[in-house]
Amino acid sequence: MNHYQRIITDFKRRMGYDTLDPRAALFDMDGTLYDSMPGHAGAWMKMCRDNGLEASPEDFFMAEGRTGADTIEMLFMRSYGHSATPADVERLYAMKSANFRALPPVDVMPGAPVAVKACMDAGMATVLVTGSGQTSLIERLAEDYPGAFALKVCSRDVSRGKPHPEPYLRAMEMAGVEPWQAVVVENAPLGVRSGVAAGVFTLGVVTGPMPAEVLKEAGAEIVFASMPECATAMPELLRAMAGKE
């Protein structure tokens, strides 16, 4: 039994799944498909400085995966001790988004197109699952990941963002699959928790300052040290999940 098979067997036993049949790969966007997290953290910091909200860049790496509305709520509770109004959320998220758009275009995460293609080559549906409402990046997907993300779950499609399981449950509903037929690829602890809570075999990938242990503690079944490492492992991992080796 190879390394992956042991992990897969343990996962199935823990979850009470008789079998795994990977038919849909559910990909996070920021920090997974795009190297966009430093830009997002910078855009949030500028918005906070311009509005007198207390924040540090680490806040945005820890909050990564939350919707903009949830992040603004967190900032308001901490700075003012009360909730943000819908008008505050709209205005401040628009400022943050404008700051992000003013930055040079972010790079595609090295290795991510290979990982996505490996899933497509295995006959899987590929679904985007993001807390982002940042249309500037979502609109680039068709060009950077041709044919991959016809199905998308964005911030507006869910009432509760990551770490709640709703985004991944919604993605599986769109793809017409059950949790034992899916795999999640995530770079952030709240995103990993969302995938795990949805009952899906969840892969953590280190792509920024968040160490592997944090993704492991959040419940990732496997943590890869980089996206190229994840991409290289993907074909064998998917075969092992399908019980083909």
Applying CB under 5 A, the residues found at the interface with Ca ion are: 28, 30-31, 187-188
Q: In a 3-state reduction of DSSP, which class is residue 211?
A: coil
For residues 64 and 78, give the distance between their C-alpha atoms in angstroms, rounded to a whole number.
Answer: 17
Q: How many CB atoms neighbour CB 102 within 10 A?
A: 10
| Nearest distance, CB of residue 160 and Ca ion, angstroms | 17
- Nearest residue (beta carbon) to Ca ion: 31
| Nearest distance, CB of residue 67 and Ca ion, angstroms | 12
Q: How many CB atoms neighbour CB 97 within 10 A?
A: 19
Residue number with CB closer to Ca ion (4 or 68)? 68
Q: How many CB atoms neighbour CB 80 within 10 A?
A: 13
Q: Which two tokens stand for residue 9?
A: 């067997």
| Nearest distance, CB of residue 245 and Ca ion, angstroms | 30
Residue number with CB closer to Ca ion (148 or 188)? 188
For residues 22 and 235, give the distance between their C-alpha atoms in angstroms, rounded to a whole number.
Answer: 11
| Nearest distance, CB of residue 181 and Ca ion, angstroms | 23
Residue number with CB closer to Ca ion (31 or 39)? 31
| Nearest distance, CB of residue 65 and Ca ion, angstroms | 5
Q: Which class for 143: exposed (0-12), middle (13-18), buried (19 or more C-beta within 10 A)?
A: exposed
Query: CB within 8 A of 94, min separation 6: which ones?
Result: none
| Nearest distance, CB of residue 145 and Ca ion, angstroms | 15
158, 176 Cβ separation under 8 angstroms: no
The residues pairing with 30 across neighbouring beta strands, listed in sequence order, are 34
Angle between helices 3-15 and 227-241 in degrees, nearest 10: 70
Residue number with CB closer to Ca ion (67 or 187)? 187
Residue number with CB closer to Ca ion (8 or 223)? 223
| Nearest distance, CB of residue 166 and Ca ion, angstroms | 16
Residue number with CB closer to Ca ion (170 or 240)? 170
Residue number with CB closer to Ca ion (31 or 179)? 31
For 7, the enclosing helix (H) or strand (E) is helix 3-15
